[in-house]
Structure formats: structure tokens, C-alpha cells
Chains A and B, each alone.
Chain A
């Protein structure tokens, strides 16, 4: 029997944690040095999540609705690119994710993206469930050391939290030890949330009055939360200009044609040796084609110049929102697709710089494509038709983002 079980039997279990209410707004997650909060449009959150899926991101997004300090904080924990837990206020999991992705009047959110390793992410996932045990601790750090030895023996994965009330600070103090498969990943505390390889933070908490222990354990790999169906950004009573059922059919035709074309082009090119330059050129051309459909929305037809105008405007907005950082050149019909491909060739073959150029440029181009798709989806008359079309668009972007991870391996 493990030490934690024995201790659980001996100690009186307390259900009221130190600083309990604080947990709702503050997930007590570790912070990554140098990560700051950016103001992003709420409409960007979905595409950001999708981009992180493509990157198989591990870590969490921490955000606050609007720019109000402390207002409506939330968290989304991602494992291998997929959201596995979410919390907004007192709402958890899928319902919280819906809240994150559903605009609520505010147009912007403060967003910080903290990248962690896979094991740390999984350890933190344990804190979305009730602790396995809560019990009082003595002030002797040897007791914690014994417990850790025991947890190592049972290959514990999760979080060991030590908390107490500080009379000096008149509030709760805490420290967390993250573990995965019996290994200690790091320690951090409320005073300094950067992960450290030292138990100093724990020792500081134990010096306070009535310290207690909460043990969080992860039992199995959490299943990914489904991304909720996107809500049409245009309310039904405010139809997009020119929106009619007949135009819906044409928009659907355009999107189905575009998606099957993109899928074919991507599927063919990715099979080539060193396809990066060809892929970037294709992505540029496909962006321009999609912009042609957007430019055709008002009159049903579009010139290359009109498409170029759509791309230029979308690019300017995406840059201003911080969603795109690539310095794209514009050609006559939109993005200069040839220059995108040639740009890759200016880097030494198989170099990290070439890989970084490909990764950034392809990701940013997909962001532009996603934004242009949003404009077409927002132009639908029937939200159900828009919802069907959106499913296909999202599937395409997911497939391409996942496929890009395989390119060049």
C-alpha cells in the first residue's frame, strides 16, 4: 500500500482547501518565461486553436475576455494539439470550450500561450478533477520527502499541492510539485510560477500555519474535447448583404470545389521529395483563388485586381491582430505565390532556417485561408448550410495542418 493511502487513512480528510474559491479563476498553472498576453479578436480564437492542433502543441492558453484585468479568466489545456480540458469561471470541459469560442459581446480577448512539454501538460490535467486526497501536513519537510519517495514508487502522475494560510500575507500560499510516471518534473509556487528543480517553494509553504496536502492524480489519457460547432458570426436577423438561398448554393459550390481542389493539390505535392517550395507556391495560388470567390460576393464576378484587394485587406487586418507575421509580397492577383516558393529556396537545404520559413509561411497562409473562408461562411443566408460548409472547411484546415507536420520528415 502506498504512503499516500496510509496517510489518507490516518489523516483527517478536509474538503475545504486553502484558497479554494481562488481556484475558479486562477488555474494555478506554471508560467513560461517570456510569455506575455496579446490582445486578439475573439473570432481568431478558433483558428488559433486549430493552428495549435496542427503544431501538436502541448501547454495551455490563458485568456481574459476583453482587456479588463481579472475579468472572466479562462484556460484551455492542450495535449498533442487537442484541447483536453477547459475552464471558464465555474464552467468546465466542453461547455467551457463553447464559452471560449462563442463571442459574448466583447470583440477581443487577452491571450497568453504557454508551451509546456507533454508530461507537464498531462500532470496538470489531473487538477481538473477533484483531488484524490486532502490531508493536513506537519511542518517537517521530511514528511513531504517520504511522500514523494512513495509516489515515485507507485509511478504517480499528477500534482502534489501543498498549501497553507499565511498570517503575514493574510492569504493562501501554495506550491505544486508536478510528477509524471514517478518522475518529478518541477516545482513552482504562487510567489514564482516558473518551474524549478528545487523544493524551496514547498519549504516556504510548510513554514506557514496548518499546511495541508492535496494530491491530484491522472488515471488515464484524457479524451480530446470536441471543438464546438462554430456559431455563425452574423446573426440570422442580420443577413449578409445579398444573402439568398440561391447564393448559398453557389457559395457551397465554390467551397466544395475549393476544398476538393486544395485536398488534391496538397495530397499530390506532399508526396514529392522536398515539396516545401511547391507547397508554398500552391498555398499562395489557392489563397488567391479563394480571395477571388470573396471578391465575387457583391456582384457574382471578380477580377484579379479585386482579388488582390481582398488579399491585401485581409493581410493588413491579420497583421494588425498579430495573427500573421510573415512579410508576404503581393502580386497582381493577390499573394505573390512564386515569391513564396522561391523564398524557401534561398535558405540552405534542410536547414533549420528553411524549416522555420516553411513552417511560418505555411501556417500564416493557412491563417489567411481560414479568414477568407470565414468571410464566405459569414455570407450564407441559411445558418444550417453555413454550418455544413464550415464542417468541411474545418476538416480541410485540420487535415492540411496535420499533414504539414509530416512534410520534410
Chain B
């Protein structure tokens, strides 16, 4: 049986790929879009159960896309999780204002992603294990 559909909107092919890899292994059908405009077309084509939406997108940003989704009676019920490198309070408030359901901040781990997706989408498998003892050297210094 086909699994639930999650739409991943991110201009980075790396993020699209690793989200796709993580979710597909749990039986989730992943649809990806590199831009907001393509995402809107994808939503109209196959309405997903959840949208993972990057903020920094070319031309139309994630906030604007979220606002468009929320104004559409057909799609406004779809949970939108902002998937972003922006972790400031202002960004989260702005996200809430346009109707974002939740935030995942990059960098993330598979279990972060699965935990959030599991809140909004029903699938069977349990999330993966915890990080082992390899504490990243210099974590938090980059960028």
C-alpha cells in the first residue's frame, strides 16, 4: 500500500536528498521541489499530508509560500514545518505569523526529522537510534 506523501521544498539538492533518504526508508512517499513555485504546482498535483518548507528559497521565500498555502481553502489544513538554517526568535515568530506549524533547524539528525514528521503523518516504523559518543569537534563554530 502506498505510504503517506510528504512534500520537501528546499533549493538545496543535498537537503532534498537526505530528507528523501530518511523518510523513504520509513515508507513515506517523498515529493521534492526546489522552489516555491514548483512546490505550489506539486501541492495542486498531489496534495501532501505534510510540507517541509525551507525559508530561504529563490524568488518566492518560504514565508510567502506558507502564506499562500494558508490562504487556500483546499490546502490550508496541511501542516507546514519550516526546515531552516534560521534559528532566531524573530524567524520563528515570523513563521508562526504566516501559519507555520513547527520548525526544524539545520543541522538536524534523522531522529529530529522523524519525530516531527511522526507528529503529523501516520507511519509504522520507529525512529532511528540516538547519537553515539562522537561529540563533534568545534560544533557550533561554523557559519
Contact = CB atoms under 8 A, between A and B. Distances in A.
B131 A254 contact: yes
Interface in A201-238: none
Contacts of B131: 250, 253-254, 257
A109 to B, nearest CB: 29
A24 to B, nearest CB: 37
A208 B142 CA distance: 67
Interface residues of A, number: 46
Contacts of B15: 260, 263
B3 interface: no
A211 B128 CA distance: 69
| Chain B contact residues: helix, strand, loop or mixed | loop
Kindly name the residue among B21, B85, B131, B142 whose own CB sees the greatest number of chain A CB atoms within 10 A: B142
26 contacts: A249-B129, A250-B132, A253-B111, A257-B136, A258-B136, A259-B18, A260-B15, A262-B14, A264-B143, A268-B143, A285-B142, A289-B139, A291-B137, A292-B135, A293-B134, A295-B134, A301-B133, A302-B137, A304-B137, A333-B137, A334-B137, A388-B21, A392-B14, A392-B18, A396-B14, A398-B13
Closest 4 CB pairs of A and B: A296-B134, A261-B107, A265-B143, A301-B133
Contact of B129 (A253, A257, A264, A289): A253
Q: How large is the interface on B (under 10, 10 to 19, 20 to 34, 35 or more residues)?
A: 20 to 34
Nearest to B54: A267
Contacts of B22: 256
B76 interface: no
A391 interface: yes
Contact of B137 (A264, A288, A392, A399): A288
A300 interface: yes
B25 interface: yes
B73 interface: no
A267 B85 contact: yes
Contacts of B108: 256-257, 260
A340 interface: no
B129 A269 contact: no
Given A268-B85, A293-B134, A296-B133, A256 B142 contact: no
B134 A254 contact: yes
Contacts of B137: 288-289, 291-292, 302, 304, 307, 333-334
Contact of B134 (A263, A265, A302): A302
Contacts of A399: 12-14
Contacts of A257: 107-109, 131, 136
Interface of B: 12-15, 17-18, 21-22, 25, 56, 85, 106-111, 128-139, 141-143
A286 B142 contact: yes
A389 interface: yes
Contacts of A256: 18, 21-22, 108-110
Interface string A331-355: 0011000000000000000000000
Contacts of B106: 260-261, 263-264
Given A256-B110, A264-B143, A399-B12, A300 B132 contact: yes
Contacts of B133: 296, 299-301
Contacts of B12: 263, 267, 399
A242 to B, nearest CB: 11
B143 A301 contact: no
A126 interface: no
A201 to B, nearest CB: 45
B134 A300 contact: yes
B128 A252 contact: yes
A250 B143 contact: no
A246 interface: yes
Given A263-B14, A301-B134, 15 more contacts: A249-B110, A249-B128, A250-B129, A253-B109, A256-B21, A256-B109, A260-B14, A260-B107, A261-B142, A264-B107, A282-B143, A299-B133, A392-B14, A395-B17, A395-B18
For B136, B137, B139, which residue has the most chain A Cβ atoms within 10 angstroms? Answer: B137
Contacts of B18: 256, 259-260, 392, 395
A267 B141 CA distance: 15
Nearest to A308: B137
Interface centre among A253, A269, A299, A300 (most CB of B within 10 A): A253
Contacts of A291: 137
A391 B12 CA distance: 14
A288 B139 CA distance: 10
A333 B141 CA distance: 14
A249 B108 CA distance: 14
A246 B21 CA distance: 18
